A and B are shown apart, each in its own frame.
Chain A
Amino acid sequence: MPNQDSATKPAYERSKLVLEIKHLTKQFPVDDGRVLTACNDISLRAYEGKTLGIIGESGCGKSTLVRTLLRIQPATKGEALFEGHDILKSKGEQLRQDRKLIQMVFQDPTAAFNPKMLVKDILTEPLKNYGLIKKSEVDAKAVELLEMVELPASFKDRYPHSMSGGQRQRLGIARALALEPKIIVCDEATSALDVSVQEKVCELLCRLQKEKNITYLFIAHDLGLVDLMCHQVAVMYLGNVVEWLEYGRIAESCKHPYTRALMKAVFKVDFRPGEKIEPIEGEIPSPLDLPPGCPFASRCEHCTDNCLNNKPKLKEIEHGHWVACHLYD
């Protein structure tokens, strides 16, 4: 009874761990000698065949986190265990093999491809890079990948500019699938798409996940979408994970004031007359001069002196549910 299982047990008791991020910190030096902490001591886990959603406003460090994992930039501290080794310290051929197993789908499907390459070359270039394909197989493989993402086979001889945004995003997914990775990082992969197209792309992602048992790291700022897409959800604010939920639905169980405020800022379709949205006031503070206490203190309605001075730690308040807030001390 997998359904009953998922309702009662947190993910770490029933699924195979694929990626374990431990105390990852990423700091950028700034010109005047200060440091900008984009990711602060982040620990998360991703499981086989499941989706880990990461939400937060722009500037909260969610993209920096995955860029660090993909080794686009080096980490300052911490480790990330994948396939029994720390991918943040891999070198040379090992790093090349890591990258083969962790692929990415980008936000802007227009900018993600070389406009002068044919679709079939775009799709098979990763395979060529790893020496996994012969020239004579290119067409057949491209057709296979196109069919996987429900695009017509005739697209293989087109250029990306002659495709719509949704079709291009499917192409991005097909390219990520080419190497049969274990993890696919979707960095705001559906944000540039219309709702109806977004729905189709999400359904495609979920179908592929079931077929191939892929793990997704799904970054988004749409709480509704994350709620529908993700098995585990991490909420980030100013470089910190403030809430982390490993089972259940975020809508029912969220506890952190920031997550709850995010929920109130989502526009529902079926507003009752007179019902008001309550946006969080103010803007996200600069990550350069972080407050000593809780990062959310300046915008939080429950803020106390304790919050201003002491930074709350991420605590497990119930099985598989971590919150960093003094309200739950």
Chain B
Amino acid sequence: MLLQVKDLDISYGDRLTVAGASLELDKGEIMSIVGESGSGKTTVIRAIMGCLPGAGRVSGGSIIFDGKDVLQNTPEQWRHMYGSEMSMIFQDSGNMINPIRRIGDQFIDYIQAHQPDKSKSQAYEMATAMLVNVRLPNPENIMNSYPFELSGGMRQRVGIAMAMIFSPKILLADEPTSALDVTTQAQIIRQIVDIRNEYKVAVIIVTHNIGVASYISNKIMVMQGGKVVEYGKREDVIGNPQHEYTKQLLRAVPIIGGKCYYA
């Protein structure tokens, strides 16, 4: 088991935000966390990544990643894990990139920060190879662009390329397609599946799109108000939902050819 989270409690100050979340993830598996905004889905993956904001802290339970209890990590140990063992992509990868520096410069900095023995040209080679790998044609162009010059879908691919450059064991994706069009969303989701198949990386996707979760996942976790209300294999959660909230969520998804609202 690559990742084992048991009875995780997360508090902001004195307020318990997530209570008793448990999950297990194996190499090459994709898990989705679905739920409404404010249900604590992002908080869970931030806890796994050790980057809860502000007064957030893990107040109970354990997170075992690759045989190690990451809750005991020092900041220095975390820093070594980021990028090479765990990495994250965000809702809009354009926001995590410095807007006034070229993508190439930042990508090279990022590689050299983790592998100081790499020369600039070696890092450039690595970066362009990775950009091609995520289906970005003309990587030289991309390396020479500022983030605002790229479309949302392209920025998201750059984000995936940066996250995957050191082939981490787990990829955490926080609403990776929520800011995208349907067509681009489909492209990015397929890209994530391809990346999983190629690198055998475990993926946790936080999304509110149940269609996406149903398409991509091996496991699905449904959260409501800081609690896990349903967790299991994709087939079971989608095909035979037990909890009333899951059923309600599944019904609410607009389906082409479904029952009209105006009828």
CA distance A269 to B208 in the complex (A): 12
Residue from B152, B153, B182, B212 with most neighbouring chain A CB atoms (10 Å): B182
A249 contacts across to B, CB distance below 8 A: 257
Q: Do A224 and B186 touch across chains, with their CB atoms under 8 A apart?
A: no
| Nearest-Cβ distance from residue A254 to partner chain B, whole angstroms | 10
Q: Do B258 and A228 touch across chains, with their CB atoms under 8 A apart?
A: yes
Comparing B62-70, B75-83, B122-130, B246-254, the segment that makes contact with chain A is B246-254
CA distance A261 to B255 in the complex (A): 16
B215 contacts across to A, CB distance below 8 A: 267-268, 271, 277
Q: How many residues of A contact B (CB 8 A)?
A: 46
A151 contacts across to B, CB distance below 8 A: none
Q: Do B190 and A271 touch across chains, with their CB atoms under 8 A apart?
A: no
Residues B224-263 near A (CB distance < 8 A): 238-239, 248-262
B252 contacts across to A, CB distance below 8 A: 195-196, 198-199
Closest to B259 in A: A228
A225 within 8 A of B: yes
B165 within 8 A of A: no
A196 contacts across to B, CB distance below 8 A: 36, 248-249, 252
Q: Number of A-B pairs whose CB atoms are under 8 Å?
A: 120
Query: Given A165-B37, A267-B186, A269-B253 in contact, is the A221-B262 Cβ separation under 8 Å?
Result: no
A115 within 8 A of B: no
CA distance A118 to B175 in the complex (A): 33
Question: Which of B36, B185, B211, B260 interacts with A269 by CB under 8 Å?
Answer: B211
Closest to B181 in A: A57
Q: Do A227 and B258 touch across chains, with their CB atoms under 8 A apart?
A: yes
A269 contacts across to B, CB distance below 8 A: 210-211, 214, 238, 250, 253, 255
Q: Can you show 15 pairs from A to B with CB atoms below 8 A apart?
A: A194-B37, A194-B208, A195-B252, A203-B261, A206-B262, A227-B256, A227-B257, A228-B255, A229-B261, A252-B257, A279-B183, A279-B187, A280-B183, A280-B186, A283-B153
A18 contacts across to B, CB distance below 8 A: none
CA distance A206 to B254 in the complex (A): 15
A225 contacts across to B, CB distance below 8 A: 254
Q: Do A283 and B151 touch across chains, with their CB atoms under 8 A apart?
A: yes
Closest to A279 in B: B186
Chain B: interface residue count, which band?
35 or more
A163 within 8 A of B: no
CA distance A59 to B148 in the complex (A): 15
B189 contacts across to A, CB distance below 8 A: 267, 277
A81 contacts across to B, CB distance below 8 A: none
Closest to B153 in A: A283
CA distance A281 to B137 in the complex (A): 12
Residues A254-278 near B (CB distance < 8 A): 261-271, 277-278
Chain A positions within 8 Å of B, measured between CB atoms, are: 51, 57-58, 165, 194-199, 202-203, 205-206, 209-210, 221-225, 227-229, 231, 249-252, 261-271, 277-281, 283
Q: List the 9 closest A-B pairs by CB distance, nearest first.
A: A267-B211, A279-B186, A224-B254, A265-B186, A199-B252, A251-B257, A225-B254, A194-B36, A195-B252
| Nearest-Cβ distance from residue B5 to partner chain A, whole angstroms | 24
Q: Do B210 and A195 touch across chains, with their CB atoms under 8 A apart?
A: yes
| Nearest-Cβ distance from residue B32 to partner chain A, whole angstroms | 11
B209 within 8 A of A: yes
| Nearest-Cβ distance from residue A30 to partner chain B, whole angstroms | 16
| Nearest-Cβ distance from residue A241 to partner chain B, whole angstroms | 18
| Nearest-Cβ distance from residue A163 to partner chain B, whole angstroms | 13
| Nearest-Cβ distance from residue A325 to partner chain B, whole angstroms | 18
CA distance A209 to B252 in the complex (A): 20
Closest to B180 in A: A58
B212 contacts across to A, CB distance below 8 A: 267
Question: Which of B37, B183, B250 interacts with A261 by CB under 8 Å?
Answer: B183
Contacts A198-B252, A268-B256 supplied; 14 other A-B pairs, CB < 8 Å: A51-B262, A57-B181, A57-B183, A165-B37, A195-B252, A197-B36, A199-B254, A224-B256, A227-B254, A262-B183, A265-B182, A267-B214, A269-B214, A270-B214
